[in-house]
Amino acid sequence: MVAPRDATSPATGLALIPALLGLVRFSHTVFALPFALAGALLARLEWPTLATLWWILVAMVGARSLAMALNRLIDADIDAKNPRTSGRELPAGRLTGSQVVVFSAVAFGLLLLAVSQLPPLTWVLWPIPVIAFVLYPYTKRITWLCHLALGLTIGLAPMGAWIAVTGSIAPAAVLLWLAVAAWIAGFDIIYALLDVEFDRANGIRSVPARFGPDVALRITRILHVVTILLLAAAGFVAGAGIIYQVGVVACAIVLAYENATVDPKDQGKVQAAFGSANMVMATLFAVFVIAEVSFS
């Protein structure tokens, strides 16, 4: 791990809280949490017990915190070299590697605690996402398919929530997993537009670095069309009704807007497409799934 670039002292005491929240990008939880909730609701088209929802939430917090902490640890050297990311907590010295390792252990314990309270299959399968958390950061060093690896990893959230409710895997859960994987892979390609020149100069693999921004955006559009088709199919197979499918149409409109407005030459528009549009899309989907279960 590289040494901090400045003389910033590592956070201690209560100052650790904002530093750790910055490390895991807590605000970005909205990318996965709404889909986990949707998976839990679509599993039986009814509200699970409060206890089940609670342990799903705990598992999500533990898993996402572990994933982000591992990603930051493994990518610390890359982040330090990139002007856009050199201000992150580890390269800037606001957190030490030892602090992040301890935080990772706590997050891992939280995940294990949660799955121990859920159906046995969740305990059997928990190593799969954890292995994916470790492997994903290395994919960007090997292949431009790293975006899909990220999508398949985060897309496990609704699949896990489905299993937490039913204790089994179903075709609709697989479709939902693949839909989220395609969605995340698409917007991660958009995010990679911010680092095209850095990635090319430092051997980091990404679709924009390999094929250029224009081709990258075309691939994103294809992935987002696939996302909508898979979301519609997941709802149909799960037995969801018209409210759900109206929600899918609303998500399609948001993704169409995102892809129409993103401009690789304008970092502000790239950030807006990556952040705001996708947060709206995830929230909309969850709202319509809640309405489907509550009012149909």
Is residue 203 a part of any domain in this protein? yes
- The whole domain housing 167 covers 16-295
For residue 20, what pLDDT is reported? 86
Q: Sign of torsion, CA 40 41 46 51?
A: positive
Give the mean pLDDT of the chain.
91
Is residue 8 a part of any domain in this protein? no
Model confidence over 210-237: pLDDT tens digits?
A: 999 999 999 999 999 999 999 999 999 9
Model confidence over 133-179: pLDDT tens digits?
A: 999 999 999 999 999 999 999 999 999 999 999 999 999 999 999 99
Is residue 164 a part of any domain in this protein? yes
Is residue 3 a part of any domain in this protein? no
Is residue 1 a part of any domain in this protein? no
For residue 5, what pLDDT is reported? 45
Q: Mean pLDDT lowest for which of 15-19, 39-43, 97-101?
A: 15-19
* Total of domains in the chain: 1
The enclosing domain of 74 has a CATH number of 1.10.357.140
For residue 266, what pLDDT is reported? 78
Residue 254 has pLDDT above 80, yes or no: yes
d(CA 152, CA 192): 17
For residue 137, what pLDDT is reported? 94
For residue 7, what pLDDT is reported? 46
For residue 8, what pLDDT is reported? 67
Is residue 9 a part of any domain in this protein? no
Query: Averaged over 96-107, what is the pLDDT?
Result: 94
User: Please, is 25 exposed, middle or buried when counting C-beta atoms within 10 Å of its C-beta (0-12, 13-18, 19+)?
Assistant: middle
Is residue 236 a part of any domain in this protein? yes
Query: Averaged over 175-185, what is the pLDDT?
Result: 97
What percent of the chain shows pLDDT beyond 70?
A: 95
For residue 4, what pLDDT is reported? 44
Is residue 11 a part of any domain in this protein? no
